[in-house]
Chains A and B, each alone.
Chain A
Amino acid sequence: MKFFFSSGHGACPGCSLPIAVKNVLYALEGKCFVVNPTGCLEIISSQYDRSAWGVPYIHSLFENAAAVAAGIEAALKALKREDEGHVVVFAGDGATADIGVGCLSGMFDRNHDVLYICLDNEAYQNTGNQQSGLTPPGSNTTTTPAGKLLPGKVGKKKDMVAFALAHGVPYVATASVAYPTDIRRKVKRAVEFEGSKYIQIHCPCVTGWGINSNETIKVAKLAVETALYPIVEYENGELVRVRKIKERKPVEEYLKIQRRFRHLFKHPKGKEIIEELQRIADENAKRFGLDA
């Protein structure tokens, strides 16, 4: 088993979570202890007697993955077994930005030696597309349905990178499943740091976003190419690397192929939201210097 994650898991065809997970485990050569809160990844990979994992794995509650990981790290330190592997958390965006944000803040504050990976599929996709803190504005979810008055989610996507940076986390990065070699490099770089590490990986969801199973990578690439999902890397609070975009595409190209944004092209307020998203993309490009 090359990737420490086996076939036969229950993910939808074309799901991007296993792509992110297998490349992280491959980069760590399987030397890790995985903590996984409730979410899609837990459901697909750890049904009873159907575990897809080839590394030590523990399923925690929805809110306390960071606390469980901190405990494992402290125990390994006390037993002088730190060299056996890194402690890695695979959490969804809901478990990171909404439900588990308290424990995560505590872990960052105490600066435990844990690699925290947020698999960002931009809603609670496990229970059928409910909005989370990381859902982008305008997205149609079951809790923010597009109707006569409201055009999907109102508000903005939570900036978890800034949240991690505000805690003084030594290594903070974003990545995308469209670039697995980048994920591998970032994971290898992250574990060189002592203390908490935070990597947020953009993972398109086939059913929740309403895309074809073979379009996962295409959509992830478009999110990066429109600058809606900037790929950045911070070391000790300083921006060291960004993924430059050769020709920035308009956000409509990213929006029109997804069912969750389909209403924006018909809704009376849709135009405003598209302009708002384009403004966010322009701001990202300016802030991080994405245009090559």
Chain B
Amino acid sequence: MKITLGAVSKPYSALKMKTGDWGTHWPKVDEELCTGCGTCEMFCPDMCIELVKVGEEEVNGKIKEIKKAKVNYDYCKGCGLCAEVCPTKAIKMELKEIYKV
């Protein structure tokens, strides 16, 4: 259906707005500590942290994917919620290079 009245925006057109330069801090994921539970993914208000497959392992004869959290720095606003909710404290907030004096 073609809508000719009013203002219509295309779905996901907000992706044009790169919000990665808003914050002063960036989350860094420690892959050793990350268990791939997905809590950060559930809480991130900017949908910029997701679980990605990094390998496979065999548990009780079944092949299971190993997943780790990965941050999309194009959109991360540096709020620090992921570091706060992480149950294994695998995410640390680091000051961006340009703010280091």
**What is the interface of chain A, defined by CB distance below 8 A to chain B?**
1-3, 5-11, 13-19, 22-23, 45-55, 180-181, 212-218
Measured CA separation A13–B75 after assembly (Å): 11
15 A–B contacts from the bound complex (CB under 8 Å): A2-B47, A6-B47, A7-B14, A10-B19, A13-B45, A13-B79, A14-B80, A15-B45, A15-B79, A18-B47, A48-B9, A51-B10, A180-B43, A213-B79, A214-B83
Q: Chain B interface (Cβ within 8 Å of chain A)?
A: 7, 9-19, 22-23, 42-48, 50, 72, 74-75, 77-81, 83-85, 93
Q: Label chain B's interface by main secondary structure.
A: loop
- Distance, CA A214 to CA B85, complexed state (A): 9
Given contacts A8-B75, A213-B80, A216-B81, are A16 and B11 in contact (CB under 8 A)?
Answer: no
Q: A1-B12, A46-B9 are in contact. Are A7 and B46 (CB under 8 A)?
A: yes
A218 contacts B84, C-beta separation under 8 Å: yes
Provide the bound-state CA to CA distance between A15 and B42, in Å. 14
- Given contacts A13-B22, A46-B9, whether A6 and B43 have CB atoms under 8 Å apart is no
How many Å lie between the Cα of A214 and that of B17 in the bound state? 22
Contact of B42 among A10, A14, A23 (CB under 8 A): A23
* CB proximity of B96 to chain A, nearest CB, Å: 13
| Smallest Cβ-Cβ distance to A215: which chain B residue | B84
Interchain CB contact under 8 A, A217 and B43: yes
Closest CB of chain A to B75's CB: distance in Å? 4
Closest to A48 in B: B7
Contacts A13-B23, A13-B77: A180 and B42 contacting too (C-beta < 8 A)?
Answer: yes
Within the complex, the shortest CB–CB distance from A61 to chain B, in Å, comes to 13
Q: With the chains together, A52 CA to B14 CA distance in Å?
A: 5
A7 CB to nearest B CB, Å: 4
Q: Could you tell me if A18 and B46 are in contact, using CB atoms closer than 8 angstroms?
A: yes
Contact, CB under 8 Å: A50 / B9: yes
Residues of A within 8 A of B80 (CB): 14, 212-214
Contacts of A1 on B, CB cut-off 8 Å?
12, 47
Q: Are A51 and B11 in contact (CB under 8 A)?
A: yes
| A8 / chain B contacts, CB cutoff of 8 Å | 14-19, 75
Given contacts A51-B14, A214-B79, contact A7 B48 (CB under 8 A): yes
- CA of A181 to CA of B83, assembled, Å: 19
CA distance A1 to B12 in the complex (A): 9
Contacts of B12 in A (CB 8 A): 1, 6, 51-54
| A13–B78 CB distance below 8 A | yes
Q: B79, A50: Cβ atoms under 8 Å? A: no
Give Cα distance in the complex from A189 to B19, angstroms. 35
Complexed CA–CA distance, A51 and B14 (Å): 5
Tell me, rounded to whole Å, the shortest Cβ–Cβ distance linking B41 to chain A.
Answer: 8
A17–B46 CA distance with the chains assembled, in angstroms: 10
Asked if residues A9 and B14 are in contact (CB atoms below 8 Å), the reply is yes
Chain A residues whose C-beta falls within 8 Å of the C-beta of B18 in the assembled complex: 8
- Other than the given A6-B14, A7-B15, A217-B85, 20 more pairs (CB < 8 A) read A1-B12, A5-B47, A7-B47, A7-B48, A7-B75, A9-B14, A10-B19, A13-B79, A14-B45, A15-B45, A18-B47, A19-B43, A19-B44, A47-B14, A51-B11, A51-B13, A213-B78, A213-B79, A214-B84, A216-B79
